[in-house]
Amino acid sequence: MKKLIIDMNESKRIFGLDILRTIAIIFVLLGHSSTFLPKKVAHYSNKILYDGVGIFFVLSGFLIGGILIQLLENYKINVKLLLYFWKKRWYRTLPNYYFVLIILILSDSLYNKNFNFMYYLKYFFFCQNIFSINLTFFGDSWSLAIEEWFYLITPIIIYILIAIFNIKPKSAILLSAIFVISFFTLYRIIYTLNLDTLNYENIINVRYTIFGRSDSIMFGILGAYLLYYKTYFWNNYKNIFLFLGIFLSAFYYLFPISNNFYSLTLSFTITSLSVLFMLPFFYNIKRGRGIFYRMITFISLISYSLYLVNMQISKFIRFIVDNKADNFIEFYHINISNNYAWSILFAICFISFWVLTFLISIVLYKYIEVPFMRYRDKYIKFNLTKI
């Protein structure tokens, strides 16, 4: 059991950002475990959920954007710098992703009669959700594809502005942010206006695709821009920003995702802005203490692994129950509150989901994620030229 214990002092962390990250992953886990709750309970629990992945997008942009800004401001801009940035990023995200992907492909080959390896190739290159998506296999990978393409293309845009057009990093980052946010927002508007009908498939093809959501990450980079270049503004107006963030987050509950123009276009912008406005307040919560602090830090550390495996564990539990019961989905849609046996089964499924998700995530974090990050920090070296 000692081998599963995580060293939570491996890196300096900002507790407020850990709080946001923990809130985000809890929303995701609650959303995917609601399948194992009675229908009425699931209905009310889903009412309180926020866009957990939307929070992750902005947080990711803020943290990675901060690293990128530091590099651009302190080192000579060249291809070597881009390669250094990409390798640092890839050693953090790809090992866990490819490990889970390969396990899923191998398991799929065992029971999928129509198994065709060529179908899965797109997942290796993050091409599973460029304009449309099928969520039946490795559904959670949609957000990872968005992030990987964003962090591949956006630095190139900034590099072109700096190296070719001789624009200063500060202006290049701001121009890139304006361009990316405008481009993808305009794409959603044009896409929606050209639809004959608005339906669930349309929502899926916007909400979970690269062209539908890439601008969400850029709001996080705007946060990093404000922190680095407008520090006084960032620190002294954090309470006002928090109020604005809470105010905007209310739109998520007042206008839930549905088949309408707002849901397919501006809802993602409002959600991203709400998280952006909350960042200054949470960023200034540097440390915590006690069991609450340790719990939040622990969940935050393994949040990436939690995200990768939770939906797969949910599907696995449903697969097991489907083979033992007549049909899990049918029973989910009936009133089981008066059926003691089914209430117990659902409770077992719900608890099993959370226990298995955390145990497997700890193993992934400790034995895959951490070793690769340590290898990265020790051996991935570039002779970058300081300005």
- Between CA 371 and CA 373, with CA 372 as vertex, the angle to 5 degrees is 90
Per-residue pLDDT of the chain (387 residues; tens, 9 = 90+): 455 556 665 457 899 999 999 999 999 999 999 888 877 778 788 889 999 999 999 999 999 999 999 999 999 999 999 999 999 999 999 999 999 999 999 999 998 888 999 999 999 999 999 999 988 899 999 999 999 999 999 999 999 999 999 999 999 999 999 999 999 999 999 999 999 888 888 889 999 999 999 999 999 999 999 999 999 999 999 999 999 999 999 999 999 888 889 999 999 999 999 999 999 999 999 988 899 999 999 999 999 999 999 999 999 988 887 655 545 545 444 444 455 556 777 888 899 999 999 999 999 999 999 999 999 988 887 778 887
pLDDT of res. 257: 82
Residue whose entry in the numeric block shows the structure tokens 């821009």? 225
Task: Output the pLDDT for position 199.
Answer: 85
What was the pLDDT predicted at 334?
A: 46
Domain ranges of the chain: 2-25+57-312
Whole-number Å distance between alpha carbons of 74 and 277: 27
What local confidence, expressed as pLDDT, does residue 12 receive? 76
Is 91 within 8 Å of 373 (Cβ atoms)? yes
pLDDT of residue 208: 96
